[in-house]
Amino acid sequence: MSAIVERPYEDDVFNTDQSSIKKKEAIETFESEVKLKDKPNPDQALLLQEMQNVQGNMEIDPGYHQKLGVSLVPLDFAKLKAFFKTQIANEIQICATLQALRWRLTRVGAAMRKQIMLSYIHYDLLESGEILSEQNTTVFETLFFCDSLKVREYLIALINSMASEYLGRTYLI
């Protein structure tokens, strides 16, 4: 029997060097990520400023849509609220309107979505911020407690799309 002498192959030595290089790269990447986390996030500051604008009832810039290159038809939120409260028997039109409001949020870019969400919040589309007497009901209560399951389904779809944005979740809470 001959004795087999094990010796490290060049590939094994090379792999050892590669693993130490990979470890160094991983450590450098981690350190750079930690440094980035320490810096203030400009998006958070912008979001806080927008929330303060909404809470202060400041007017939304009407020329904002033109700056983005996207044009949407302006909405009369008072008429929308009155429509939801008075035309509750007209299920098809209510569902179509709720779907249009949802598509207005979901079928645009992120910057435009934020502006639309701010307009919904500013004009209190679902009247979630209002405290009404027992005789008056909010838009949300009117739509949610109506007899039509389809209207409820479309309302929940709109609420779900609103809740996908931070501002929407804040508004709904």
What average pLDDT does range 152-168 have in this prediction? 94
Secondary structure (3-state) at 60? coil
138/52 Cα distance (integer angstroms):
24
- Nearest residue to 77 via CA among 105, 113, 119: 119
For the stretch 69-106, pLDDT in tens is 557 888 999 999 999 999 988 999 999 999 999 999 99
**61: DSSP letter:** -
What average pLDDT does range 2-15 have in this prediction? 48
Sign of CA dihedral 30, 35, 36, 40: positive
For the stretch 39-74, pLDDT in tens is 555 555 555 555 555 444 444 555 554 554 557 888
**129: DSSP letter:** T
168/162 Cα distance (integer angstroms):
5
Would you tell me how many other CB atoms lie within 10 Å of the CB of residue 19?
10
- Label residue 26 by pLDDT band (50, 70, 90): low
Secondary structure (3-state) at 9? coil
Q: What is the CA radius of gyration of the chain?
A: 28
Percent of the chain clearing pLDDT 70 (strictly above)? 56
58/40 Cα distance (integer angstroms):
26
pTM of this prediction? 0.59
